A and B are shown apart, each in its own frame.
Chain A
């Protein structure tokens, strides 16, 4: 492992540095931010100045402070969503792989149908029906992404349930939950960790896209996607400010992708 770490390419190193910075900003947001998250501290659309480093937004709230607090909200929602998606998807996959037969068939066909519609379209339909709130957003996106996790986890678990030690556990008379979580899961964990990073970027982009469309995180909470929308009109005056929250999203996704790319490269045995 240390051999791989020492040979880590610059891109992956850059990725880790970016993620570390984002984590610090999110955790210490109240200490770093010069103003509170939702307080109106000046006139609307102030240009960059010493008082407001990145100016103010469409309501006169400090742009920099909102960018910093948004790291908390946006990342928190994306991480929670990805976690729920993984718990749902992996449990269903382990269940399907352990039970096999009709249980596996039924779950797999349901997943096939759910995956036959683009995620953004399904989430728009579901948000219309259940209404837009942060909780609905997290649950809907988690449910939709759990289908992808299910497919991958099922493929991995299917290779493990045929192993002798699983057969031995079955003969020993262990229950289904024991086999799912004590025999199959520990051996499926490694490939699933790499997958987590990749899924996180997709979830993160979808949540931000919905917030950008005004259907995700609702004001006055700060969110990068929503901030782009709120301040978009500044672009036509040649002001860079609306690109900053969008850039924050782009930079983090890029960082995670660089790391995943490197991990896949290492996992493939460093073959060229």
Chain B
């Protein structure tokens, strides 16, 4: 157990280090701006005096290292600083949007994970039959489609032709839980389409790899049915790789979320990010990028820790 604990601690430490390095990079990148944040806020016509005053107010005259630790310290206490364009505190902008994005991702995860694992097991069970080939072509097709193609396709069918769901998902603070589900379902389905294919292919591949091992052959020779071999013997050992793929895909969903939110005009973090990039609102872009990057790193970290803990064989490698 000590060895497992040591590996987990090492992995977590590495994750924290990565987070620090990434936050430093996100911070430094803004230093490469032509001019600086003060010039961005005031524009071309600013006089040197007002520029100097604003630089002083924003603390731009202190050395970058000091400002980085101030910025990071503020974020750890929930203060992301101030928007360059609207002058509002960024934390205020982020608060509700973060919740919206999380609920969208959660709904997509709840639909896609059981679907992907189920289809993956089915494809592994029916390997090399028409079921497997159909699923293979279907998933390749889904992987190839850009997010907005799927999104507009779903809008055309489910909201324009059938009228079941709204084509834009503006979630305000006052919606009830049922309304929220109704509004979020179409964007979630789009995300589901994008991530399910990948998860399903990996589930199938990891089960098929296990089926070649001697202990599975032993189970077959005992006379166990194909279903029992896959579900009882192969699946438990496939859990580590499958959990890994699920965590990776939730991380992968981050990129999808940005586009899906733009298509559905969904008030989430992704839309805020795209709007801020278009407006060149540097500080908001910084904050949003840091949140997305942290989420990505943390999901990868969780995936690694789970695969270490659930697979003692990892300890005896080499």
Interface residues in chain A, defined as those with a beta carbon under 8 Å from any beta carbon in chain B:
11, 112-113, 116-122, 124-130, 201, 205, 208-209, 212-215, 225, 228, 232, 235-238, 240, 242-243, 246-247, 249-250, 253-254, 256-258, 261, 272
Contacts and interface: CB of A to CB of B under 8 A. Distances in A.
Contacts of A240: 156
Given A117-B293, A120-B254, A272-B127, 7 more contacts: A116-B293, A121-B293, A125-B285, A128-B280, A212-B148, A232-B263, A235-B152
Interface stretch (B24-32, B48-56, B177-185): B24-32
A70 B34 CA distance: 32
Contacts of B128: 272
Which size class do B's interface residues fall under? 35 or more
Interface stretch (B90-98, B101-109, B117-125, B135-143): B135-143
Interface stretch (B215-223, B224-232, B270-278, B307-315): B270-278
Interface string B158-172: 001100000100000
Contacts of A225: 146, 148
Contacts, number: 135
Nearest to A248: B149
A117 B297 CA distance: 7
A134 B144 CA distance: 24
A238 B296 contact: no
Contact of A254 (B140, B254, B259, B289): B140
Interface in B1-36: 18, 21-22, 25-26, 29-30, 32-33
A107 to B, nearest CB: 15
A129 B37 CA distance: 11
A113 B144 contact: no
Query: Is chain A's interface secondary structure helix, strand, loop, or mixed overall?
Result: helix
A203 to B, nearest CB: 13
Given A235-B156, A243-B152, A246-B146, A113 B18 contact: yes
A128 B258 contact: no
Given A212-B259, A213-B274, A253-B144, A236 B285 contact: no
Query: Is chain B's interface secondary structure helix, strand, loop, or mixed overall?
Result: helix
A118 B140 contact: no
B152 A232 contact: yes
A251 to B, nearest CB: 8
A257 B149 contact: no
Given A116-B296, A124-B274, A235 B149 contact: no
A117 B22 contact: yes
Interface of B: 18, 21-22, 25-26, 29-30, 32-33, 127-128, 137, 140-141, 143-149, 152-153, 155-156, 160-161, 167, 251-252, 254-255, 258-259, 262-263, 273-274, 276-278, 280, 282, 285-286, 289, 292-293, 296-297, 300
A246 B255 contact: no
Q: What 8 A-B pairs are tightest by C-beta distance, nearest first?
A: A246-B149, A253-B144, A254-B144, A120-B255, A117-B293, A250-B145, A121-B292, A125-B289
22 contacts: A11-B137, A116-B300, A117-B22, A117-B289, A124-B258, A125-B29, A125-B285, A125-B289, A127-B277, A129-B29, A209-B148, A213-B262, A213-B274, A214-B274, A215-B277, A215-B278, A228-B152, A237-B160, A238-B156, A250-B144, A254-B141, A254-B144
Nearest to A130: B32
B248 to A, nearest CB: 11
A129 B258 contact: no
A113 B22 contact: yes
A242 B155 CA distance: 12
A209 B259 contact: yes
Contacts of A116: 18, 22, 293, 296-297, 300
A125 to B, nearest CB: 5
A169 B258 CA distance: 50
B156 A118 contact: no
Given A121-B289, A124-B274, A214-B278, A246 B29 contact: no
Contacts of A119: 255
Contact of B146 (A112, A209, A238, A258): A209
Contacts of B153: 243
A257 B141 CA distance: 8
B292 A213 contact: no
A129 B276 CA distance: 12
A111 B209 CA distance: 30
Contacts of B254: 118, 120-121
Nearest to B251: A118
A221 to B, nearest CB: 18
B149 A129 contact: no
A242 B292 CA distance: 29
